[in-house]
Amino acid sequence: MNTTANRHGHGHAGLADLLETASKSIETSTEPREFVAQGDRVLVVGVATGRIKATNKTFEDDWICAITVRDGRLAKIRE
């Protein structure tokens, strides 16, 4: 089974592919609820809610995203 969870990509093309694939199987929305900044890193705490199209089941998922910025540019994003 090919799911968004087991696919890997890099750069803009990888992100675009991931988002396109995910949009075909789920409806989702995200809400960032808290931002914590220290040095060159920002942690974003939020929640994603949505529906799996194939089963019509809903979900809620808490998440944390770690963003590193160097020289005014995104250097790394981790979820």
| CATH, residue 9 | 3.10.450.50
Dist. CA 47–CA 59, nearest whole Å = 10
Structure tokens at 54: 């194939």
pLDDT band at 7 (very low <50, low <70, confident <90, very high): low
Dist. CA 17–CA 23, nearest whole Å = 10
Number of structural domains (the chain) is 1
- pLDDT the model gives residue 6: 52
Q: Is the dihedral of CA 65, 77, 59, 50 positive or negative?
A: positive
pLDDT in tens, 13-72: 887 888 888 889 999 999 999 999 999 999 999 999 999 999 999 999 999 999 999 999
pTM over 0.85: no
Dist. CA 12–CA 62, nearest whole Å = 25
Structural domain containing residue 15: 4-78
Q: Residues 50, 58: contact at Cβ < 8 Å?
A: yes
